[in-house]
Amino acid sequence: MLIHIPNILSPEEVAYFRQRLEADKWVDGKITAGEQSAKAKLNLQIPQDSKVSRELGTLLLKALARSDIFTSAALPLRVFPPLFNRYDTGMKFDTHVDNAIRPDPETGFRIRTDVSSTLFLTEPEDYDGGELVIEDTYGTHQVKLPAGDLVLYPSTSLHSVSPVTRGSRWASFFWTQSMVKDDGMRSLLYEFDQSIRSARQLLPDDNRAILGFTSVYHNLVRRWAEL
């Protein structure tokens, strides 16, 4: 399941994020890569323990909490503290898969990476290349979104970032441990929830069909969720 979620951040919030990131120190992005991914990775990153990374990560988590679509699609149990990277001209990240388990260096707590997310912080016209390329059972998808928009996809997917040939691509990326770890189940629940939301635009909330659908949805979550 690949989902585009627009306007996670407003233009004003994107501008603030950019301003804070421009003033911070960037380091080699290999600091968060596994042994295999490090060989494929060529980018820059803000250290996770920097004051700016923590501040912006907290702001982004609050923005995610405002998004009904993110909550419906990810069914988050835990969200890894957001990280921030950039790809300048000539940089790329070859095809790889994300680590299944990631420890939070601050707390030592580990999360299972069920859902991967990339939040774009650069407008598409400001750079060439730099597409996020995601492979799934339906083929290969190239993703390049407006600043402030987010793409969410299963962490089991092979993916890459194509070489940047002009400009610089800035983004935030993070992982979510979902209450429902199976992507197929999670996709069904998302589609069911979106159908209920659409039906509620046509029928009153106390309609027996709406009540029945909502009951089934929550009972499925209750059956499949792991806390």
Q: Which residues are annotated as a binding site?
A: 96, 98, 159, 169
| β-sheet bridge partners, residue 44 | 28, 86
46 burial type by CB count under 10 A (0-12 exposed, 13-18 middle, 19+ buried): buried
Return the CATH class of domain 183-224.
Answer: few secondary structures
Do residues 150 and 132 make contact, with C-beta atoms less than 8 angstroms apart? no
Which residues make up the CATH 4.10.860 domain(s) of the chain?
183-224
Q: Which residues are annotated as a binding site for 2-oxoglutarate?
A: 169
Q: Is the pLDDT assigned to residue 29 strictly greater than 90?
A: no
In angstroms, rounded to a whole number, what is the distance separating the alpha carbons of residues 217 and 225?
Answer: 12
Q: Is the pLDDT assigned to residue 173 strictly greater than 80?
A: yes
Q: pLDDT at position 36, please?
A: 65
Q: What does DSSP assign to residue 105?
A: T
For the stretch 30-81, pLDDT in tens is 877 666 666 788 999 999 999 999 999 999 999 999 999 999 999 999 999 9
Q: pLDDT at position 153, please?
A: 97
Q: Which CATH number does 3-178 carry?
A: 2.60.120.620
Q: How many angstroms separate the most distant Cα atoms in the chain?
A: 58
CA proximity to 195, closest of 98, 16, 72, 41: 72
Q: Which residues are annotated as a binding site for Fe cation?
A: 96, 98, 159
Mean pLDDT is highest, among 26-35, 100-109, 114-123, for 114-123
Which residues make up the CATH 2.60.120.620 domain(s) of the chain?
3-178
User: What's the whole-number mean pLDDT along residues 19-33?
Assistant: 89
